């Protein structure tokens, strides 16, 4: 009897080992295929564009498609690795039709735990759909007042989403919007969000001279502070346009009394390329200003964009989620994320734009809100000034700004 049981056990064990080997083989083939495909895509992109890159002449559309393809393939590779790297004790085995179906325990939990104990910074660049650099191809500054706004519909949705996840954010506001919708700014501040500056007319800095930038930023800061009655501590340039050659902008920001800037996105890009920029917060303007870059994920010596915006909207959610998780776990650093209100609005009016610009402006808007909700559920977020308050002078912290609000009437000069 015991001999038969041992033989049966041995047969079952051998069958189990064969199954495991087969699964492992398939796993390795998937990973290998994804790795080879991603490598070939990168090599092909470089080879096809090498001459144009050397001549400095390459279409933005081709580069955008190449970058998107590479990131998509990387996302696939990450999903394969993540799917097969879960520990057995984290799976719930279900037998059905002779197949073992694995469901992660976290998928059955109503309130999944945060992926990291680190508090990241969540930010919103408050601008309407016709304020973007892409939309400028179809809508001029002189036409702004005549354009139908979507902010009064979309912004309450976004604020409610943040309330649902008990999250406060930094909202970088255009001075033009603060003048037109002061009540919207006060409502955001009332809900506990930090209000910061995003310029007055949404003009990229590398197209301005020092005096024009000073005037634009001074007007924006004053208009926003008049609307909310609180000192504005932070600034973010339109399109992250503080790039090599415009470092003088840091000096202007320090002169105007800003405590921090978040205008550097250290990735390769045709418009705001600053791939050699520092990845982590550092001081600029003779240590008078704290620079807080947008989150990136360092892979094989290259900075991959995971800071939100179009990268969150157009690419698979797992890509941004994995990158931010890696930044928190491996670098023990907080990441700064950004979105725009129009990115969750799939009913924004259609502008007459080239096809690649239309993709950049509108694609992914129908799924963006769920992706943002996923990040808010999976990670901890706070306003930028709160996350980095330890780097400011005591009188410049977010808490001090909140105290100042309670002591001064709205619209008072401070």
Q: Is 380 helix (H, G, I), strand (E, B) or coil?
A: strand
The pLDDT of residue 405 is 42
Closest Cα partner for 205 from 260, 261, 246?
A: 246
The pLDDT of residue 58 is 46
Terminus-to-terminus CA distance in the chain, angstroms?
91
Helix (H) or strand (E) holding 337: strand 336-339
Summarize pLDDT for 44-56 with one digit per residue, the tens. Answer: 454 545 454 454 4
What b/e sequence results for 3-15 when a residue is b if at least 16 CB atoms lie within 10 Å of its CB, and e otherwise? eeeeeeeeeeeee
Helices vs strands, H then E, count in the chain? 13, 13
Q: Determine the Cα–Cα distance for residues 165 and 156; give it in Å rounded to an integer.
A: 14
DSSP secondary structure string, 208-270? S-HHHHHHHHHHHHHHHHHHHSS---EE--GGG---TT-THHHHHHHHTT-SEE-----S--T
Summarize pLDDT for 94-151 with one digit per residue, the tens. Answer: 233 232 323 332 333 344 567 778 999 999 999 999 999 999 999 999 999 999 999 9
Q: Are strands 91-96 and 99-104 parallel, antiparallel or unpaired?
A: antiparallel
Q: Determine the Cα–Cα distance for residues 7 and 371; give it in Å rounded to an integer.
A: 52
* CATH number, domain 119-407: 3.20.20.370
The pLDDT of residue 104 is 35
The pLDDT of residue 272 is 76
Is residue 156 within 8 Å of 368, Cβ to Cβ? no
- Strands (DSSP E) along 74-179, which ranges? 91-96, 99-104, 119-126, 170-173
Q: Is the backbone of residue 332 left (phi > 0), alpha (psi -120 to 50) or beta?
A: left
Positions of the chain with pLDDT under 50: 2, 9, 24, 27-32, 34-35, 37, 40-41, 44, 46, 48, 50, 52-53, 55-62, 82-111, 393-414
* Domain extents in the chain: 2-108, 119-407
Q: Is 382 helix (H, G, I), strand (E, B) or coil?
A: strand
Is residue 116 within 8 Å of 380, Cβ to Cβ? yes
The pLDDT of residue 96 is 30
Helix (H) or strand (E) holding 374: helix 365-378
Closest Cα partner for 216 from 230, 229, 201?
A: 201
Q: Determine the Cα–Cα distance for residues 5 and 261; give it in Å rounded to an integer.
A: 71
């Amino acid at each position: 009897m015991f001999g038969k049981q041992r033989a049966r056990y041995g047969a079952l064990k051998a069958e189990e080992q064969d199954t495991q080997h087969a699964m492992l083989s398939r796993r390795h083939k998937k990973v290998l295929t994804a790795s080879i495909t991603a490598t070939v895509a990168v090599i092909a992109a470089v080879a096809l564009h090498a001459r144009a890159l050397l001549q400095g002449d390459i279409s933005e559309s081709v580069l955008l498609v190449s970058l998107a393809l590479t990131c998509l393939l990387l996302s696939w590779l990450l999903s394969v690795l993540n799917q097969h790297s879960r520990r057995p004790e984290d799976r719930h085995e279900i037998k059905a039709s002779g197949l073992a179906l694995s469901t992660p325990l976290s998928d059955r939990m109503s309130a999944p735990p945060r992926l990291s104990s680190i508090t990241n910074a969540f930010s919103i660049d408050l601008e309407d759909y016709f304020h973007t650099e892409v939309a400028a191809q179809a809508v001029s500054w002189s036409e702004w007042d005549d354009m139908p706004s979507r902010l009064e519909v979309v912004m309450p949705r976004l604020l409610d989403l943040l309330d649902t996840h008990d999250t406060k954010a930094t909202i970088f506001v255009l001075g033009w919007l603060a003048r037109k919708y002061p009540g919207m700014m006060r409502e955001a501040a009332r809900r506990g969000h930090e209000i910061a500056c995003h310029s007055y007319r949404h003009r990229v800095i590398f197209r301005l001279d020092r005096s024009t930038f000073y005037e634009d930023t001074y007007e924006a800061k004053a208009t926003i502070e008049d609307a909310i009655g609180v000192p504005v501590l932070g600034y973010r340039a339109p399109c992250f346009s503080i790039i090599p050659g415009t470092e003088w902008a840091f000096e202007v920001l320090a002169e105007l009394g800003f405590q921090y800037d978040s205008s550097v996105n250290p990735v390769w890009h045709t418009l705001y390329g600053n791939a050699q920029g520092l990845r982590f917060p550092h001081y600029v303007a003779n240590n008078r200003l704290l620079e807080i870059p947008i989150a990136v994920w360092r892979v094989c010596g290259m900075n991959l964009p995971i800071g939100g915006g179009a990268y969150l909207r157009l690419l698979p959610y797992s890509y941004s989620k994995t990158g931010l998780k890696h930044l928190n776990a491996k670098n023990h650093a907080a990441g700064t994320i950004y979105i725009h209100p129009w990115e969750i609005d799939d009913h924004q009016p259609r502008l007459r734009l080239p096809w690649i610009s239309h993709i950049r402006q509108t694609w992914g808007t129908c799924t963006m809100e769920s992706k943002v909700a996923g990040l808010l559920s999976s990670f901890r977020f706070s306003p930028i000034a709160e996350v980095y308050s330890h780097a400011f002078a005591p009188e410049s912290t977010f808490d001090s700004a909140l105290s100042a609000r309670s002591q001064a009437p709205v619209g008072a000069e401070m």
